[in-house]
C-alpha cells in the first residue's frame, strides 16, 4: 500500500470501521502520466452524520477543484465534481471513460486534484472525531 493510501485509510478509520477501500495510483508509470485521483470506501456501519461530517471537512479545505462525496451506492466515493458531472454519476461505463479522458487530456487538472486530495486527507486526519 502506498504512503498516500495508508494515510487515507488511517484518516477514514477514525470515523468508523472500514470494510473496503480503494484509491488509484496517482501516477501511471506504464503510460507516463498522472491520473485523476479519487477514493472509495465502505464503513461497516455507515452513518449519515459521519458522511455529513466528512463532507463539511472537505468543504473547509481550500481546493483547486471542487470535490463531492457520492453516497448513491453502498460504497462512498470522494471525487472531483467535474468527473461526477461529466460521467453523470459513478455507475456505468461513462465513469471510467471520463476518468480516462480527463487523465489523458488534462494533466493540469489531475495535478491540481492530486494536491487537493493530499490536503483533504490531512484535514480528515486533524479534525476532532464526532462525539469525543
* Tens-binned pLDDT, residue by residue, of the chain (132 aa): 678 789 999 999 999 999 999 999 899 999 999 999 999 999 999 999 999 999 999 999 999 999 999 999 999 999 999 999 999 999 878 999 999 999 999 999 999 999 999 999 999 999 998 776
Give φ, ψ of 129 to 5 degrees: -80, 130
Write down the pLDDT at residue 91: 87
Write down the pLDDT at residue 131: 73
C-alpha cell at 11: 484518516
Global pTM value = 0.93
- Do 36 and 28 form a contact (C-beta atoms < 8 A)? no
In a domain, 9, yes or no: yes
Convert 1-18 to b/e letters by CB count within 10 Å (16 or more is b).
Answer: eeebbebbbebbeebbee
DSSP letter at 128 equals P
What residues make up the domain containing 47? 3-126
In a domain, 29, yes or no: yes
In a domain, 132, yes or no: no
In a domain, 22, yes or no: yes
In a domain, 131, yes or no: no
In a domain, 17, yes or no: yes
Write down the pLDDT at residue 21: 96
In a domain, 84, yes or no: yes
Domain count, the chain: 1
Amino acid at each position: 500500500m502506498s504512503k498516500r493510501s495508508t494515510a487515507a485509510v488511517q484518516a477514514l478509520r477514525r470515523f468508523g470501521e472500514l470494510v473496503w477501500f480503494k484509491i488509484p495510483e496517482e501516477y501511471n508509470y506504464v503510460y507516463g502520466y498522472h491520473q485523476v485521483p479519487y477514493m472509495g470506501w465502505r464503513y461497516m456501519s455507515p452513518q449519515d452524520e459521519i458522511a455529513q461530517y466528512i463532507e463539511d471537512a472537505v468543504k473547509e479545505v481550500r481546493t483547486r477543484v471542487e470535490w463531492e462525496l457520492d453516497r448513491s451506492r453502498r460504497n462512498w466515493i470522494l471525487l472531483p465534481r467535474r468527473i461526477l458531472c461529466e460521467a453523470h454519476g459513478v455507475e456505468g461505463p461513462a465513469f471510467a471513460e471520463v476518468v480516462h479522458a480527463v487523465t489523458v487530456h488534462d494533466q493540469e487538472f489531475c495535478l491540481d486534484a492530486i494536491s487537493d486530495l493530499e490536503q483533504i486527507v490531512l484535514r480528515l486526519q486533524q479534525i476532532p472525531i464526532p462525539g469525543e
